[in-house]
Amino acid sequence: MTKQEFFAGVFIMLVGVAAVVYSLFKLNMGNLATPGPGMLPFLSGLGIVVLTLLWLGANLKNITKGEPLWGNSEWVNPVILVILTIVYTALLEYAGYIISTMLFVFGWQIVIEHRKIASSLLIAGVCTAGLYLVFVTLLRVPLPAGILRF
Partner 1 sequence: MEIFEGLLGGFALALTAHNLLFVFLGSLIGTAVGVLPGLGPAATISLLIPIAYTIGSPATSIMFLAGVFYGAMYGGSTTSILLRLPGEAASVVTCIDGYEMAKKGRAGSALAISAVGSFVAGTIGVLGLTFLAPLLSDLALRFGPPEFFTLMLMGLLLAIFLTGENPLKGAIMLFVGVLLANVGIDPITGVARFTFGIIHLRDGFDFVVLAMGLFGLSEIFLTLEKQFSTEFITKKIGKMLPTKKEWIDSSWAIVRGSLIGFFIGIIPGGGAVIASLTSYAVEKKFSKNPEEFGKGAIAGVAGPESANNGAASSSFIPLLTLGIPGNAAIAIIFAALMVQGVTPGPLLIVDHPDVFWGVIASMYIGGVMLLILNLPLVGLWIQLLKVPFYILGPAILMITAVGCYSLRNSVYDLYLLLIFGVMGYVLRKLNFETGPLLMAFILAPLMENALRQSLLISSGNIAIFFTRPISGILILVFVVVILSRVLKSFKNFKKGSKVGGEL
Question: Nearest approach, Cβ of 99 to partner 1 (angstroms)?
Answer: 13
140 vs 149, beta carbon nearer partner 1: 140
DSSP of 66-92, one letter per residue?
---SS-TTTTHHHHHHHHHHHHHHHHH
Best CA proximity match to 145, nearest among 109, 84, 135: 135
Residues 120, 125: Cα–Cα separation, whole Å? 8
Residue among 101, 105, 99 nearest 147 (CA): 99
Per CB under 8 A, the list member of 14, 21, 113, 133 interacting with partner 1 is 113
Q: Could you say which of 25, 118, 137, 139 contacts partner 1 (CB under 8 A)?
A: 139
Q: What residues make contact with partner 1 under the rule CB under 8 A?
A: 1, 4-5, 8-9, 12, 15-16, 19, 22, 27-28, 31-41, 44-45, 47-48, 51-52, 54-55, 58-59, 61-62, 64, 69-70, 74-75, 77-78, 81-82, 85-86, 88-90, 92-93, 97, 101, 104-105, 108-109, 112-113, 115, 123, 127, 130-131, 135, 139-143
